Amino acid sequence: MEGSKGFGGIGENGSSSEGRPPNPLSEACRQRFSIDNVTVSCKKTLVRHQSLVKTRTSDISVEPDLGVENHNTDFIPIVRSGAWKDIGFRTSMEDVYICIDNFMSDYGLNNVVSGPNSFYGVFDGHGGKHAADFACLHLPKFIVEDEDFPREIERVVASAFLQTDAAFAKACSLDTALASGTTALAALVIGRLLVVANAGDCRAVLCRRGKAIEMSRDHKPTCSKERKRIEASGGHVFDGYLNGLLNVARAIGDWHMEEMKGTDGGPLSAEPELMTTELTAEDEFLIIGCDGLWDVFRSQNAVDFARRRLQEHNDPLTCSKDLVDEALKRKSGDNLAVVVVCFRSEPPPNLIAPRPRVHRSFSAEGLRELQSILDSLAN
C-alpha cells in the first residue's frame, strides 16, 4: 500500500505534507520519457490529433452550477488532499496518481488567481505502466506551459490531453518498449472553479452537502453515446469491448494497437469530456479514483462512506486509505488508486433532517362524537 498527503508531485504512500515525496520515475525513465525532441506546440486553438477529428468539441460538457444558486460568491475553498494506492489482487501495479495542492507555485508560475490553484489526477494503465507514468508526468506540464492558462481553462486542459497523447505516440515511435495505454482523469481547483476532465473509466464524485454529484462519465464502449462515436469512426463494439480488445472507449496511448488510432482516424479517442462547477460552501470534498474503486462502490455509497470517516478523523489521507481498504474488503479485483480533496478545514457537518409535520385528522364519526361531548358540557 502506498499513499501521500498534500504534496506537490507524483505520489508514494506514507509521504507527509512536509516535503516532496520521492518520484517513482527514475532518471533513466525520465530520459526515456523526455519529449525534448517531440514537437508539440502550445497553441491558442484546441490541438486535436488527426485521428480525433471526428470527435466534436461540442461534446465537452460544461455545467456551471449543477443546480446550486451562485449566491456564495465570497466562499474561498481551503484545499487539503490525500491519496492512497494498492496493487490489490493483481500481480503488477499500473495505477498512478498525482496531487499538487499548489499547482502554479510548484511549476514556477505566479499565482494570478484568488484562492487555491491545485491539480489532481489518476491514471489507470493497461498493457503496462509506461503510458500512465508518461501522462502523469507530462499532462500537468502541457497545462501550465499553455500561454492561455488559466484564462481559458477548459480549452487548455482539453488541448493538454491531446498533446500528451501525441507526444506519447512520438515517444513510442522512438522506443517500441513503451507501447501501452492509460485512462486519465484530471481535476483542477482554480479559485472557486472546479474543472474535471476525463478520458476513460476513472471517476470523480463531488460531495455537496452529503449528496453525490458525479463530475465525470464512465467512457465504456457499451454506452450509447460512445458506441455511436466508435461506429462513426470505423470501429465496432464486440462483447462490450472496443474492437473486441479494449473495455474503455477513450484512452491516452495504445498507438500500437491496430485500427485504434491513426492519421486516417480511429475509434479510440484521447479527447476528454469536461465538467465544471463553481464551488460553494455546500461543497465538502471530492473523490477521484480509478475503476477498481468504482467496481465495488456506487457514487453515493462512496460519498456516504468517506463522509463518515472524515467526520471521525478529518484527514483526507486516512480517508483515501479507508476507501482503498474497504474496496479490498469488498473484493475489488483491480489495482486501486484514490485521491480525496477536502474544500474546508473543518469536518463535514452532521446533517439533521427536518422532522416531518404530523398531520392528524378526525373522522366524521369522531367529529360528531366530539360535538356531542362539547354540547353536553355546555348544558
Q: What's the full length of the chain, in residues?
A: 379
> Residue 305: enclosing H or E segment and its boundaries?
helix 299-313
Q: Reply yes or no: is the peptide bond before residue 348 cis, omega within 30 of 0.
A: no
2-353 is classed CATH 3.60.40.10: yes
pLDDT tens profile 339-349: 999 999 999 99
pLDDT of residue 10: 65
DSSP per-residue letters across 272-283 = PEEEEEE--TTE
Separation between Cα atoms, residue 326 and residue 338, nearest integer Å: 12
- Per the listing, cell 464524485 goes with 205
Residue-wise pLDDT for 66-80, tens only, equals 444 444 568 999 999
- Whether residue 49 has pLDDT greater than 60: no
Mean pLDDT along residues 136-153: 96
Q: How confident is the model at residue 2 (pLDDT cuts 50, 70, 90)?
A: low
Radius of gyration of the chain (CA): 24
Cα–Cα distance measured from residue 130 to residue 30, given in angstroms and rounded to the nearest whole number: 11
Residue 84's contacts (CB-CB under 8 Å, 6 or more residues apart) are 1, 2, 3, 4, 13, 317, 320, 321, 323, 324, 336, 337, 338
Q: Which amino acid is at 275?
A: M
CA distance 358 to 361: 10
pLDDT-derived band at 286 (thresholds 50, 70, 90) equals very high
Question: Domain locations in the chain?
Answer: 2-353
- Asked whether the predicted pLDDT for residue 115 surpasses 50, the reply is yes
Phi and psi, residue 9, nearest 5°: 150, -175
